[in-house]
Amino acid sequence: MGAGLACAGAAAWLMGGRDVGIRRARLLFAEGGVAGGGPPPWERALAGLRRLRAEWWSVVAGLVIAVLGASVLPLAAGAVGVPLLRRVRLAAEARRARERRGEAVIGLCGALAGEVRAGRQPGEALLHAAGDSGGLGDAQAAVLAAARFGGDVPGALADAAGQPGAEGLLGLGACWRVAVDRGAGLAAGLDRLEAALRAERDQRAELRAQLAGARSTAVMLAALPVLGLLLGTALGADPLHVVLHTGAGLACLLAGAVLEGAGLWWALRIVRGAEAA
C-alpha cells in the first residue's frame, strides 16, 4: 500500500509538472507564432462569433435558414435586418448612456452639497465634486475652467445640460446663480434639486417597469410565426419549402412580413409614446 501511494504521488507530481511546463511554454511562445501554442481552431471560431455585434447575428441566422431551405431569400432578409438591428442596438446604448449621465448628475449634486457644507467655496467645491462624480460628461473641462478662473459657471452648466440625460445641470446652474447673486444657501438648493431628480428617476423607472409587460407581449407575438415554422418542421410538413419555393407561400411570406413589421412597429410606438409622455 505504501509503495502504491508513493507511485501515485510521483505520477501526480510528474503530471502536474508536465502541465505546468506546457502552460509555461504556451505563455512564453504563444505570441511568437509557435505551432500548437494557441487555442484550437474551433475555439477561435467561437471567440469570433462571440465578438460579433448583435445585428450581424441576423446574417448568421439568415445563412442558416438559407442553407436549410435551399433559398437565398433568408440570407437577403438577414442582410436587410442588419441596419434595423444596428439602429435598435445604438438606441439601447444611447438610452443606457443617458441613464448613466443622469445618475452622475444626481451624484454631482449630492457631492457638491457635501463639499459646500464642509466649508469649501462654491468654485473649489465644484472642482472637487466634479472630479469625483464625473457628472459633467464631455463639457466637464469647460465647466471646471469656468469654476477655476471665475468664469460664467451657470452658462457652462447650461451648455453641459444639452447632453442627453444631463438636463438636471440646468437646475444646478440656477441654484448656483441664486446662491452667488443673492447669497442664498447653495447646499439647501442642491438638496432639493437632488431630491427632485431622484423622484423623477424613480418615476421613470416605475413607468418603464409597468410598460415592460406590454413590450414583452409585443415581442412574444412577433416570435409566434417562428414558432409555427418550427412546429411545422417537427410535424414533417416542410414549411420552409412551402414558404420559399411556392407562389402561394411567397405571397403569404410577403404579406406576413409586412403585417408583422407594421404590428410590431405600432405596438412599440405606443409603448414609446407612453414613456415619452
Tell me which residues of the chain have a pLDDT lower than 70.
1-52, 132-135, 137, 181-184, 277
pLDDT score, position 271? 83
Give the chain as a DSSP string: -HHHHHHHHHHHHHHHHHHHHHHHHHHHHTTTT-TT-S--HHHHHHHHHHTS-GGGHHHHHHHHHHHHHT-SHHHHHHHHHHHHHHHHHHHHHHHHHHHHHHHHHHHHHHHHHHHHHTT--HHHHHHHHHHHH-TTGGGHHHHHHHHHTT--HHHHHHHHTTSTT-THHHHHHHHHHHHHHH---HHHHHHHHHHHHHHHHHHHHHHHHHHHHHHHHHHHHHHHHHHHHHHHHHTT--HHHHHHHSHHHHHHHHHHHHHHHHHHHHHHHHHHHHHH-
Domain ranges in the chain are 204-277
pLDDT score, position 9? 53
pLDDT score, position 89? 87
pLDDT score, position 129? 85
pLDDT score, position 237? 83
pLDDT score, position 15? 44
pLDDT score, position 31? 47
pLDDT score, position 202? 92
pLDDT score, position 20? 47
